[in-house]
Structures are given as C-alpha cells and as structure tokens.
C-alpha cells in the first residue's frame, strides 16, 4: 500500500527521540502523526503517539472507519514491541 508522507520534525536527545510526519496526496488519511519515545530516569521506556487525522480523498474517505481500526491494531503492535522480553 502506498502511504506518502513528509517528515516534519525529528528530535533526538539523551532520553528522547521523536518523529512527526504529515500525509501527502494519495495517503489513505489526511493529517499528522507524532511518535515520541522517552526513557525515564529509572530506565523505563514510554511511547507517546499523537495523531490528528481525517479520511483521505476519494474511496479512502468512505473507508476511514476501517482505517481507524487498523491504526489501533498497529499501535498495539508498537506498544508490544517496547515491552521487556518481547524483542
């Protein structure tokens, strides 16, 4: 599936890494998404996902409810990948 995006910002510090992208024409949704990974002083890793999206153009607009379900599935996978012992 083609999902064109443009990277808007990246951040990399000693305890935080982040990526924000915006969708381009042809993407199933229209909007922006941010992925922020943070390691706290105890060594615990936290993932914050922020998403501002709406249905894309054409057929994608009608499929948006299904796309939201797919987004939730992928978010669970991201979180599972960060759990200790799951790599």
* Domain boundaries, given as residue ranges, for the chain: 5-82
Is there a contact between 37 and 17 (Cβ–Cβ < 8 Å)? yes
Phi-psi region of 85 (alpha: psi -120 to 50; beta: other; left: phi over 0): left
Is there a contact between 8 and 21 (Cβ–Cβ < 8 Å)? yes
Which one of 3.30.70, 2.60.40, 2.20.25, 1.10.260 gives the CATH number of domain 5-82?
2.20.25
pLDDT digits (tens, 9 = 90+) for 22-32: 999 888 889 99
What pLDDT band is residue 2 in, cutting at 50, 70 and 90?
confident
What are the distances in angstroms from CA 29 to CA 19, 37, 41, 58, 85? Answer: 18, 23, 36, 10, 33
pLDDT digits (tens, 9 = 90+) for 6-58: 999 999 999 999 999 999 988 888 999 999 999 999 988 888 999 898 888 87
- How confident is the model at residue 18, as a pLDDT? 97
Bridge partners (DSSP) listed for residue 53: 31
Q: Is the pTM of this model over 0.85?
A: no
């Amino acid at each position: 599936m083609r999902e064109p995006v443009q990277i808007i910002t990246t951040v990399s510090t000693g305890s935080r890494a982040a990526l924000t992208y915006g969708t381009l024409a042809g993407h199933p949704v229209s909007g922006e998404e941010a992925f922020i990974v943070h390691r706290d002083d105890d060594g615990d890793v936290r993932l914050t996902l922020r998403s501002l999206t709406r249905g894309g153009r054409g057929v994608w607009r009608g499929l948006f409810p299904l796309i939201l379900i797919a987004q939730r599935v992928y978010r669970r996978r991201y979180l599972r990948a960060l759990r200790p012992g799951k790599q």
